Structure 1
């Protein structure tokens, strides 16, 4: 006889991107989903799942113990996961898309939103919905930190460069190069030494200086591979540019970062605080079948012989 296994719950999802850095967003206001690293890997896989550079779970701060301490300052918590399933603190493009989702779905009004992240509260400015649904969104990224370690080196093939460690809520090793082709294919992580400098991995940003306020970048994001754009990487590269110019992390002005997926703008205040602006768009929505634990699974029928 034929038995139908319990059908996995159809859970809503949204798909979007910031400068072609793409994400799956799962609404989970009541903190009902339990996502393992394997679940995230399947959802982000471009053949087995929906496909993305990362996953964003939208949960109310009052419902999630990890974010409850920030509930007075922010209504929503961005639970960001890399496609390898690891939890991450911040994502500049991801948080701009997260804010765009809140506004486009009516969960927040246009203007300045406070969003909780593992790196703390971030303020995001979302204008009224643009006619093309891709109006620019700005996130106040705070001040970059240059905490060391010093003497970081990045190696690709036979080339080796000094790198600057910049903390934007997540770790970056920024390399100034003469030609972005020298970064190689970036299918595998560039070698970073000393080996114990980044026990949890590091995002490596390769930057070519086009002018005093213009950078061109390629980024190998930890747990992801090469991404079409990286918001924290763009900010880290500007911090490295300012540092190379002898200004520490401070400078007053507007900088441009061009990445394979598009252009990002970084405004630097006199105290070094950075604001990142760029496109953010929801491009699709639908439902994905999830088991109670959160994993994407197809609906199957099981057949067994009577009497066994």
Structure 2
């Protein structure tokens, strides 16, 4: 197996399992909430399922113990493994946003979209994408509640911006919120260098900057103590995280308008976005050869695609 490592304990009831998405550590996390109804948040893609099984085993749980598998949205790096995992969790249901339900039942369009972005790497990174029977899905929308313990009622918030099929999940016990990609990405690889970096995720094809700002503002107004990111880990620096996400969103959007006005494409935009991030991180003494750039470079490529797609949509 080689890569697997022990789940990270965040507190007495929440752990995070590293799913080694893209074959990289600290990229996509799967959260385990230890309540009366054992609950997972996210699955990562199907290649992550083996790490989920190992992680649950190391925590003393069986696959039969799993009652709910919540996916913040249906992009394959968050939900692609849900069908495969569900096959081995006989007592579980998958909780999904109303606009994501049909795509988990029939993932054909999801696969087409991911294949368009990831090309020849699609098979290795995401297959198999297993359909989920409708009776195994539980749909939750704005304001809905999921009782997973006597003292824990998870609340669902409709938080588009990154995608229309995206919700966030408020956990009252930790006063924390699972945000998927709505308020961006946290780079765990930089934390060891004393740097907290939070960048928005503007991937295609439903990116909407106004909706993303609304989601950021909404979460800021909730005064939560923690944000649990899909990519990757938890922060208690909530104000800083949301401020950075909003500021970088404006930077990236401005660069997108400039590139479009010049008649150039997403490659140019990705390069400019990467340059702006590198310029900032240099001021914090992060070298250009830092391993984090493997991920940041990919994120800028995908986010540039989303910004160009958005600008084309609004300029039609």
Work out whether the TM-score is over 0.5: no
| Higher relative contact order (Cα pairs below 8 Å, separated by 6+ residues) | 1
Structure of higher CA gyration radius? 1
Q: What is the TM-score of this pair, normalised by structure 1?
A: 0.28
